[in-house]
Amino acid sequence: MKLLDELKWRGLVSHTTDENKLSKLLEGKPISFYCGFDPTAPSLHHGNLVQIILMRHLQLKGHKPYLVIGGATGLIGDPRQSGERIMQTKEKVIQWTEILSEQTKQFFDFTGPNSAQIVNNFDWTKNITVIDFLRDIGKYFRVGNMISKETVAKRLNSPDGISYTEFSYQVMQALDYLCLYKKYNIVLQTGGQDQWGNLTAGLDLIKKSAGQEVSVLTTPIITKADGSKFGKSEDGQTVWLDPNMMSPYTFYQFWFNVSDQDAEKLLKIFTFLSIDEINNIIEQAKSNPAERLSQRILAENITEFVHGKKGLSAAKAATNFFFGKIKNDIDKMDIEKNIDEKTFYQVLFSIKNQELTKISNGENIIEVFLQSGLIQSKSDGRRSIKEGSLYLNHQRITDELYKLNSNDFFYGKYALLKKGKKNTAGIVLDKN
């Protein structure tokens, strides 16, 4: 299968400028291509990941990727349909530019003839004067075409309108393409479907100013089976790629919990598994949906890609400990080795999404369960122990007089309580 056809099969292609031309281009000699990432936050997110995966597919086929971190365009702000962006300070944009530059390094190969390269568009815009910008670049743009762009048109018709700052963004992005074409012979730009107007502005600028034709490829906006936009966790959290903003465990759980209807599409988009492998997984999953095979393989592949083998191992260890079957024996040292303390706390906290119940060392086990809210009274606790339904760190409680000690706490402070299979709570040792 040709590369462009495979990208279409995976659901990574929305629009191209000339499909036949682009297909031949990708099957020929290696080309240089780019995608831009503006520093609008201190981390990339799942939407950026779509572009990263597309770029990685192209690199794996021998093409050379350029990652453009928008140190200049990040100061301007890409127009949104919802209104003006909050303009960040120059210091913060510089800081976020450095963070994104470092974050993107993990996803690409920086060795060999098609090694990836990271560049900052501030480098070629900082010395351009306003006069030069208007004379050399602005003369190629027609206002009629600029205001016809979908996002700009919607903003113009809104009560707040659009500032000249954000209106000029498409000219800035077009300038990027022209400079990259001249300096690195880049002939393909990729981006999201909502960037189509900005991407084609660069294509037009190169044709008018340099007399050359280049290409553009956009990815679709990822939606769920019900048509809603994909990409927020159940509590509305953005799916960040930075482990400090979303732990590998939470990241893993996000992908593991996608619906059966969405899993097939997401396997194609977000993994590098072959077509045959994906088709085989889909067939197996249909025969036994309860196993959630597609979701598990999706979560494992994408978590390892973003957080590495160590991050995946921690995510799976946490999933197994907190939500696996009741264990007869728990190796505390093994748990602490495979699950970092921060992740352990985050999972405990997320169980009820509230602060953990503080417990003093030496407290009676029934009193501990009563304070956690898992039992309603001491008699309820004694009855539950007789029924064998109370657990401390997955160990069944058999002695109603048992008192907690330091060995019951992971990392010297956290423990997991359970009543039955579904009622769970976290506690923390109060050392005051």
Inform me whether the pLDDT recorded for 328 exceeds 60: no
Q: What is the mean pLDDT of residues 376-400?
A: 95
Q: What is the mean pLDDT of residues 291-305?
A: 97
More confident residue, 336 or 26: 26
pLDDT for 232: 76
pLDDT for 323: 80
Q: In the sheet that 186-192 helps form, which strands lie side by side, from edge to edge?
A: 15-16, 215-219, 186-192, 32-37, 64-69, 117-120
Which token pair is 29?
A: 């000699």
Task: Write down the H helix ranges in 61-89.
Answer: 73-76
Inform me whether the pLDDT recorded for 94 exceeds 60: yes
- Give Cα 218 distance to the centre of its chain: 18
Which token pair is 156?
A: 């113009």
Instruction: State the span(s) of the chain assigned CATH 1.10.240.10.
Output: 223-324
Ordered DSSP codes for 335-388: HHHHS-HHHHHHHHHHHHTSPPEEE-TT-BHHHHHHHHTS-SSHHHHHHHHHHT
Rounded Cα distance, 384 and 377, in Å? 11
Which token pair is 352?
A: 């009820």
Which token pair is 418?
A: 């359970």
Cβ neighbours of residue 63 closer than 8 Å, sequence gap 6 or more: 26, 30, 31, 32, 33, 114
Inform me whether the pLDDT recorded for 76 exceeds 60: yes
Rounded Cα distance, 137 and 174, in Å? 9
Q: What architecture is the 223-324 domain classified under in CATH?
A: Orthogonal Bundle (1.10)
Inform me whether the pLDDT recorded for 326 exceeds 70: no
331 falls in which pLDDT band (50, 70, 90)? Answer: confident
Instruction: State the span(s) of the chain assigned CATH 3.40.50.620.
Output: 3-219
Rounded Cα distance, 338 and 104, in Å? 26
Reported pTM = 0.90
Rounded Cα distance, 29 and 34, in Å? 16
Biggest CA–CA distance in the chain, Å, is 86
The CATH code of the domain at 338-429 is 3.10.290.10
350 falls in which pLDDT band (50, 70, 90)? Answer: confident
Q: What is the mean pLDDT of residues 98-121?
A: 97
Cβ neighbours of residue 277 closer than 8 Å, sequence gap 6 or more: none
pLDDT tens digit sequence for 200-231: 999 999 999 999 999 999 999 999 988 888 88
CATH T-level fold of 3-219: Rossmann fold (3.40.50)
Task: Evaluate whether 248 touches 312 at the Cβ level (below 8 Å).
Answer: yes
Instruction: State the span(s) of the chain assigned CATH 3.10.290.10.
Output: 338-429
